[in-house]
Amino acid sequence: MITLALSKGRIFDETLPLLARAGIEVAEDPNTSRKLILATNQPDVRVVLVRATDVPTYVEYGGADLGVAGLDTLIEHTAQWGLGLTGGGLYRPLDLGIARCRVSVAVPEGFDYRAAVRQGSRLRVATKYTAIARDFFAEKGVHVDLIKLYGSMELAPLTGLADAIVDLVSTGNTLKANHLVEVERIMDISSRLVVNPAALKLKRERIRLLIDAMAAAISERECQA
Ligand code: AMP
């Protein structure tokens, strides 16, 4: 049995066409079913639905053989857990090029971020992405107090909790709706396929076939673009 960990939403939706190229079709729609384990048309492949931040944990500890996780999630996972209890880490064979977005710094309209940085002010920054933010500001030599949040980062500067946020931005509509402006682009994000190294050894042929089919789907998509 091959177990693939996915999170609901963009990652699930955008992984489906790549799985289809490998002949795998998920039998149930996670939006209408409450099941957490979804069968596929292949008797030896199943999908487990987990929170996006739990995908690396499931794969690393063998709860799933493979998974799809955003680069942001993988960086934060590694910073928090290192190579984990197993020490084996995660094999990352493919950038799937899906769920693309960026991690950016945003501030309220009217806040002079450049001047604050120039003057060496200490900034309060709210974010879920503390490892990414810590590295970015350390490299720039900007002093920051990081405030860890788990969601609705946009609210922090509006309530006086923080001067700035570090968050995922896709279209920029969420920032605009909350009167925030993007002042730094930290990194581009896309989702990666991650594989448990022990599973890769034990189920090599089946997993290789899956990786190769997904890689073929990605290059076909890029040729069409
Ligand atoms: P947007 O308004 O299109 O810029 O989207 C920004 C909001 O969607 C933020 O709240 C982000 O946390 C979330 N978001 C955007 N892209 C992604 C992604 N690839 N994965 C997860 N969340 C995302």
CATH code for the domain in which residue 162 is found? 3.40.190.10
Residue 72 Cα to ligand 1 middle (Å): 12
Local mean pLDDT, 10-residue blocks, the chain (225 residues): 97 96 92 93 97 97 97 94 69 96 98 97 97 97 97 97 98 98 98 97 96 94 84
Q: Whose CA is nearest to atom 14 of ligand 1?
A: 168
Q: Which of 13, 100, 101 to mutate to test the pocket of ligand 1 (most atoms within 8 A of CB)?
A: 101
**CB of 174 sitting under 6 A from ligand 1:** yes
Q: Domain range holding 217?
A: 2-100+190-224
Whether residue 162 is found in the same domain as residue 172: yes
**CB of 169 sitting under 6 A from ligand 1:** yes
Whether residue 31 is found in the same domain as residue 112: no
Whether residue 177 is found in the same domain as residue 200: no
Please give the pLDDT value at position 87. Answer: 56
Percent helix, strand, coil in the chain, to 5, is 40, 30, 35
Whether residue 70 is found in the same domain as residue 179: no
Whether residue 23 is found in the same domain as residue 94: yes
Residue 182 Cα to ligand 1 middle (Å): 13
**CB of 149 sitting under 6 A from ligand 1:** no
Tell me the torsion sign for CA atoms 106, 110, 112, 116.
negative
Please give the pLDDT value at position 45. Answer: 97
Please give the pLDDT value at position 84. Answer: 61
Whether residue 118 is found in the same domain as residue 158: yes
Residue 191 Cα to ligand 1 middle (Å): 13
Is the distance from CB of 211 to CB of 68 less than 8 angstroms? Answer: no
Whether residue 164 is found in the same domain as residue 110: yes
Please give the pLDDT value at position 221. Answer: 85
pTM: 0.95
Question: In whole angstroms, what is the distance from residue 125 CA to residue 156 CA?
Answer: 9
Tally of structural domains, the chain: 2
Whether residue 84 is found in the same domain as residue 106: no
Whether residue 91 is found in the same domain as residue 200: yes
**CB of 150 sitting under 6 A from ligand 1:** no
Question: In whole angstroms, what is the distance from residue 198 CA to residue 25 CA?
Answer: 25
Whether residue 150 is found in the same domain as residue 204: no
Whether residue 77 is found in the same domain as residue 150: no
Whether residue 96 is found in the same domain as residue 196: yes
